[in-house]
Amino acid sequence: MWITFYHLSKRYKKSLGLDDTKANRKFALNNIIPEIQYKINSGEFFKIENEKKVPTVGEFSQISLEIHQNERRAITHKRYIRLYEIHIKPHFEKKRLDTIKPSDLARWQNGLLTKVTGKTVKGIRTVFYTIFEDACKDEIINKNPFTLIRSPKTEDFRVKNPFSVEEIFAILKAMPEHIRAFFAIGFLTGLRTGEIIGLKWEDFYFEDKSFRVERSRRQGMETLPKTKNSVRTVEIINTLMPYLQEHRKLSPKESIYLFETYMREPYNTCDKISSHYWKPTLQKLGILYRNLYQMRHSFASLMISNGEDVLWVSNMLGHKHSSMTLEKYARYTRLRSRQRATFLEQVA
């Protein structure tokens, strides 16, 4: 329960530290509120309030980030720190939390939108919003000013522009043998690129024509895949098997990861794979450039447009629900010409 009152045109909000129940309301009316009124009349209440030191954004941000560290993936926590350091700290580090107005945030957000995408601004907002929210919970401020600022609209930052079947096999044929399987896995399973470079030979069960997705690599860090459902068993379809078998022959027997650098180390990111193999191959073939993530979209759109079971596609992609897959790829679902509801004709 909270109480709110005004004194000399200034609004005060204070938590009573009680659950909102009938018994607690009665207790508050008979005991707590009279005591607060006495302290207001004597001036003691405002003396206590004024003695409270309101921290700056810089001071409280460290507390907020620490509070949520164990709730987030390590790579997400690292990204949030980076967003704070680059976009929030330079503008608000020395400002007290209770002095920041919605108009300050609105102008700052508008400035961000001239430099970065709406998606990035949303990520920055998440960091700053959480700092204010934690300050509210600690009763440092009464209201989160971000609740009055509209979040920017985000453009479709991953436009789906899948490759055709002909383009897919032309790309695979043109790739160097030692890295060809990377792209075969991307096009023929729909794995995320971080999941592909995280694959180890121990994850594979060739007898069962399957492998496990247990990890992802990004920015030199090995983490769990993107979501809980992304930890999954993936089927090795017949078209993919020869690429994997050939890659096994080419790989040193002591290799741990499927794809390793010349130093026998796993790739930290897919940047070099993109710049050394992907971009040059597309340019050589005269195929319109798309980023590596389009391999995943190509797999999903190709399977769905050719009538494969949506539930199977969803499991391969690691989506939580098949409805998520349908929402993303509904336009690739073919309406096959067939007579509908013929079972009714037997009764009519």
The CATH number for 219's domain is 1.10.443.10
Domain presence at residue 194 = yes
Asked whether residue 221 is domain-assigned, the answer is: yes
Burial (Cβ within 10 Å: 0-12, 13-18, ≥19) of residue 259: buried
Q: Which residues pair with 5 in a beta bridge?
A: 12
d(CA 261, CA 289): 24
Count CB atoms within 10 A of the CB of residue 188: 26
- Measured CA to CA, the distance from residue 342 to residue 340 in angstroms comes to 6
pLDDT score of 108 = 93
Instruction: Report whether 94 contacts 58 (CB < 8 A).
Output: yes
* Residue 19, domain member (yes or no): yes
Query: Which of residues 245 and 149 earns the better pLDDT score?
Result: 245
| 230, 195 Cβ separation under 8 angstroms | yes
- Tell me which amino acid residue 139 is: E
Residues 314 and 232 in one domain: yes
- The rounded distance, in Å, linking the Cα atoms of 164 and 290 is 12
Pairwise CA distance, residues 216 & 142, whole Å: 41
Residue 193 lies in a domain: yes
- The enclosing domain of 73 has a CATH number of 1.10.150.130
Please compute the mean of the pLDDT values over residues 307-334 and round it to a whole number: 83
* Domain shared by 173 and 266, yes or no: yes
Within-domain flag for 342: no
Closest C-alpha among 210, 186, 188 to residue 196: 186
What pLDDT band is residue 335 in, cutting at 50, 70 and 90? very low
Same-domain pairing of 18 and 118? no
One domain for residues 317 and 223: yes
- Based on the domain organization, do 116 and 32 belong to the same domain? no
Mean pLDDT for 137-164 is: 79
In this structure, the answer to whether residues 208 and 296 fall within a common structural domain is: yes
The answer to whether residue 130 is domain-embedded is yes
**Token code pair at residue 115:** 């430099």
Is 200 a residue whose pLDDT tops 90? yes
Q: Kindly state whether residues 203 and 243 are assigned to the same domain.
A: yes
The verdict on residue 346 lying in a domain is no
C-alpha separations of 21 from 2, 17, 186, 271 in Å: 12, 12, 56, 57
Q: 235 with 185: CB under 8 angstroms? A: no
Give percent of the chain with pLDDT exceeding 70.
89
Distance between CA atoms of 29 and 21, rounded to whole angstroms? 12
197 and 315 together in one domain: yes
* Host domain of residue 21: 2-39
Asked if residue 118 and residue 19 are part of one domain, the reply reads: no
Residue 40 pLDDT? 73
| Res. 158 pLDDT band, cuts 50 70 90 | low
Q: Provide the number of structural domains found in the chain.
A: 3
In a shared domain, residues 61 and 127 = yes
Residues 119 and 219 in one domain: no
Per-chain mean pLDDT for the chain: 86
Residues 89 and 192 in one domain: no
From CA 37, how far away is CA 248, in angstroms rounded?
78
Give the max Cα distance, the chain: 87
Look at phi and psi of residue 264 and say left if phi exceeds 0, alpha if psi is from -120 to 50, else beta: left
Q: Helix, strand, or coil here: 1?
A: coil
Is residue 86 scored above 90 in pLDDT?
yes
Average pLDDT over residues 15-43: 81
In a domain, 47, yes or no: no
Task: Specify the pLDDT at position 327.
Answer: 76
pLDDT over 60 at 291, yes or no: yes
Of the chain, the percentage scoring pLDDT greater than 90 comes to 52
Query: Over 70: is that where the pLDDT of 315 sits?
Result: yes
What is the separation, in whole angstroms, between the first and last Cα of the chain? 63
Query: What is the CB neighbour count within 10 angstroms for residue 308?
Result: 14
pLDDT at position 346 = 59
